[in-house]
Amino acid sequence: MEKKEAIRIENLTKVFKSRSSEVVALKNINLSVRDGEFLAIVGPSGCGKSTLLRILAGLEKQTEGNIYIKAKDSTKPLTAVVFQGDAVFPWMKVIENVEYGLRIRRVPPHERRRIATSYLRLMGLENFAHYYPHQLSGGMKQRVNVARAFASDPEILLMDEPFGALDEQNRLILQQELLRIWEGSGKTTVFITHSIDEAIFLGDRIVVMTAQPGRIKAILDVDLARPRDMLFMKSTPQFAELYKKVWELLREEVLKARK
Amino acid sequence: MNAVEGQLNQIAKGKVKTCEERRPHLTGILLHLLSFLSPLLLLVIWEILAKYGIVDVRLFSSPSRIFKTFLPLLSSGELVYHTLMSVQRIILGFLVGAIPGVVLGLSMGLFPPVKAMLEPIVAVTFPIPKLAIMPLILIIFGLGEASKIFTIAIGVFYLVLINTMAGVLNIDPLYMDVAKSFGASRLQFYTTVALPGALPMIFAGLKLGMGTALLLIVAAELSAARAGVGWMIWRSYDMFDIERMFCSLIVLALLGYIFSYVLDFIERIVIPWKNR
């Protein structure tokens, strides 16, 4: 692996086999994710982008190909995932949820409480530490979800449409908050989304995937300065231009997928 | 945290009163009153019907007659003695059935080989009416306490087992992914996800089991018992003592109510996170 590389994916193929059929979800994916980069992956539904993330997270095995993830610190977990939907454990208080990754790694209780509390504060949840998830709104639960992933301090942060189930206003607020925390952490992040806005707003680069089977169609650089502000960014010509580019690439795929 | 969300959360927690809450306060009181009065009304009707001979008091008795029998039964300690005998059998039988039920149910939910091995046996033996096994239990365990406890235990066991297994099997796969993605070991997965995730279903099984325990105690005390509320009922039947029978029925109703209250109370402590 090269020095500035955090993840390298080589000739990755994933085939889902059932008794009657074979579905090629991902085909010949070659991708290199830079150290400290925010990589956004967009694609039509069913293009296998979530599958790619699940393989990176070790939840699924690839059929062919190799994945290398650079471990700079062997005491840290390789990956942590922010899942789509309601992935916060309802039987744990907010603070216990955020501590979960640390607890699994047997970080001493006192230490993990300190770390979790600092991330709760970052997410504006410090007053809700001892609430149970059912007492929280959807947006707050997703904040817990994000805090849990950050608190476990992984080498790579993986996010699978984390804000997909939120209403637009909450999504805007959470995107801005995620960006603020991410910019402070410098973590290599792979972010799956179907929203072009979100991909441009958050990403350093955008990977556009093809409809089934999922291949990499294009990789675009997002040359927008950080720290970013959604309102300001949307009014710039670069944003409009990039949006158009990504949409044209995606449109073909969406239409193809409909056939 | 923005202000709106904070307020929303307060509403969810019931700190702020919404418009809807303020108005029907009076209706709420009326409804409570209605729930309180309706059983009393029924008793009054029963008493009047008995008094004017419209129902046969030899068969249906009357609230005042039952009350007259109830007081001496209570003050002599007889009723308490029989109640405690039954309560002891119910609690022991419940524990003897529920504990292996939870352990086996968890194992069957977590380990496919265990499930494959035990499921056919459970599927075949579960539908056998527990009352049909009673004679066999009597032959094996004799006429003493053991047979009564075991009768209750076997009824509780199946309900708890099946619910516990279903509880584990129905845990959202997303939670398993979360545990796995953070690198949880098997043991960590059991303690942080499988067990807490299955708890609501386990409690549903325990509550069903308690209902069955009350059913079976009466049957178990029918044969070869010399004490217990169930025994009192059968004894009253032999003596044609309708009032005594009603007194025993009242005790059973109260027991059912108290046991379900206790289980609810324990559930609240063990599952504080459940949205009620």
Higher pLDDT, residue A86 or B18: A86
What letter does residue B77 receive in the DSSP assignment?
A: T
pLDDT value, residue A129 = 95
Question: What per-residue string of b and e applies to A82-110 under the rule 16 or more CB within 10 Å gives b?
Answer: bbbbbbbbbbbbbbbbbbbbbbbbebeee
Q: Are residues B93 and B204 in the same domain?
A: yes
Nearest to B5 among A87, A134, A140 (CB): A140
Tell me whether residues A91 and B181 touch, CB distance under 8 A: no
Strands A188-193 and A156-160: parallel
pLDDT value, residue A225 = 84
| pLDDT beyond 60 at B19 | no
Tell me whether residues A104 and B8 touch, CB distance under 8 A: no
Question: H-helix or E-strand containing A9?
Answer: strand A5-17
For A88, name the nearest residue in chain B, comparing CA atoms only. B175
On the CB side of A203, CA atoms within 13 Å amount to: 29
Domain presence at residue B60: no
Tell whether A183 is within 8 A of chain B (Cβ). no
d(CA A87, CA A115): 20
- Give the domain CATH number at B260: 1.10.3720.10
Q: Are residues B50 and B80 in the same domain?
A: no
What letter does residue B54 receive in the DSSP assignment?
A: S
What stretches in chain A show pLDDT beneath 70? Answer: 1-3, 259
On the CB side of A201, CA atoms within 13 Å amount to: 23
Tell me whether residues A83 and B174 touch, CB distance under 8 A: yes
Domain presence at residue B21: yes
Tell me whether residues B5 and A101 touch, CB distance under 8 A: no
Q: How do residues B208-260 score in pLDDT, each as one tens digit?
A: 999 999 999 998 998 778 899 999 999 999 999 999 999 999 999 999 999 99
pLDDT value, residue A259 = 66
SS3 B33: helix
Q: How many CB atoms lie within 10 A of CB A149?
A: 28
Higher pLDDT, residue B9 or A54: A54
Chain B residues in contact with A173 by the CB 8 A cut-off are 2
Kindly indicate the confidence band of residue B26, based on its pLDDT and cuts at 50, 70 and 90.
confident
Kindly indicate the confidence band of residue B11, based on its pLDDT and cuts at 50, 70 and 90.
very low
pLDDT value, residue B1 = 42
Bridge partners of A207, per DSSP, are A41, A219
Q: How do residues B152-201 score in pLDDT, each as one tens digit?
A: 999 999 999 999 999 999 999 999 999 999 999 999 999 999 999 999 99
Total number of domains constituting chain B: 2
Nearest to A57 among B1, B2, B181 (CB): B181
A153: left (phi over 0), alpha (psi -120 to 50) or beta: left
| pLDDT beyond 80 at B9 | no
Chain A residues in contact with B274 by the CB 8 A cut-off are 134
Instruction: State CA A161 to chain mean position distance.
Output: 7
d(CA B166, CA B160): 10
pLDDT value, residue A75 = 83
Task: State the amino acid at position A100 in one-letter form.
Answer: Y
Q: Which of B187, B177, B172, B179 is nearest to A101 (CA)?
A: B179
Q: How many CB atoms lie within 10 A of CB B104?
A: 18
Tell whether A138 is within 8 A of chain B (Cβ). no
Kindly indicate the confidence band of residue B146, based on its pLDDT and cuts at 50, 70 and 90.
very high
Question: H-helix or E-strand containing B4?
Answer: helix B3-13
Domain spans of chain A?
5-78+155-258, 90-153
Q: Are residues B143 and B15 in the same domain?
A: no
Do B194 and B173 touch, CB atoms closer than 8 A? Answer: no
**Both structure tokens of B94:** 């419940």
Do B248 and B179 touch, CB atoms closer than 8 A? Answer: no
Nearest to B182 among A77, A91, A127 (CB): A77
Q: Are residues B74 and B49 in the same domain?
A: no
Tell whether B181 is within 8 A of chain A (Cβ). yes
d(CA B150, CA A33): 64
**In terms of DSSP H, where are the helices of B170-194?**
173-181, 186-189
Domain presence at residue B75: yes
Tell whether B186 is within 8 A of chain A (Cβ). no
d(CA B53, CA B88): 40
pLDDT value, residue B38 = 94
Q: Are residues B196 and B171 in the same domain?
A: yes
Q: Which numeric CATH code is attached to A5-78+155-258?
A: 3.40.50.300
pLDDT value, residue A72 = 83
Chain B residues in contact with A93 by the CB 8 A cut-off are 273
Helix A109-122 × helix A94-104 angle, to 10°: 130
Q: Are residues B79 and B48 in the same domain?
A: no
The A residues from 155 to 174 touching B (CB cutoff 8 Å) are 173
Do A152 and A101 touch, CB atoms closer than 8 A? Answer: yes
Q: Which of A247, A217, A223 is nearest to A237 (CA)?
A: A223
Strands A38-42 and A188-193: parallel
Chain A residues in contact with B275 by the CB 8 A cut-off are 90, 134
SS3 A161: coil
**What is the end-to-end Cα distance of chain B in Å, rounded?**
25
Do A174 and A142 touch, CB atoms closer than 8 A? Answer: yes
**Secondary structure of chain A in HEC code, one letter for each residue:** CCCCEEEEEEEEEEEEECCCCEEEEEEEEEEEEECCCEEEEECCCCCCHHHHHHHHCCCCCCCEEEEEECCCCCCCCCEEEECCCCCCCCCCCHHHHHHHHHHHCCCCHHHHHHHHHHHHHHCCCHHHCCCCHHHCCHHHHHHHHHHHHHHCCCCEEEEECCCCCCCHHHHHHHHHHHHHHHHHHCCEEEEEECCHHHHHHHCCEEEEECCCCECEEEEEECCCCCCCCHHHHHCCHHHHHHHHHHHHHHHHHHHHHHC
Q: Are residues B232 and B97 in the same domain?
A: yes
pLDDT value, residue A226 = 83
Tell me whether residues B9 and A137 touch, CB distance under 8 A: yes
Q: How do residues B43-62 score in pLDDT, each as one tens digit?
A: 999 999 999 989 898 899 99
Q: How many CB atoms lie within 10 A of CB A252?
A: 15
Q: Which of B187, B102, B271 is nearest to A89 (CA)?
A: B271
**Both structure tokens of B15:** 């700190």
Tell me the residue range of the domain where B238 lies. Answer: 70-270
What letter does residue B184 receive in the DSSP assignment?
A: -
Tell whether A152 is within 8 A of chain B (Cβ). yes
Q: Say if residue A213 is preceded by a cis peptide, omega within 30 of 0.
A: yes
Give the distance from residue A237's alpha carbon to the nearest chain B alpha carbon, in angstroms: 31
Selected for mutation to probe chain A from B178, B191, B274 (highest A CB count within 10 Å) is B178
Tell whether B177 is within 8 A of chain A (Cβ). yes
Percent of chain B topping pLDDT 70? 91
Chain A residues in contact with B180 by the CB 8 A cut-off are 58-59
Domain presence at residue B63: no
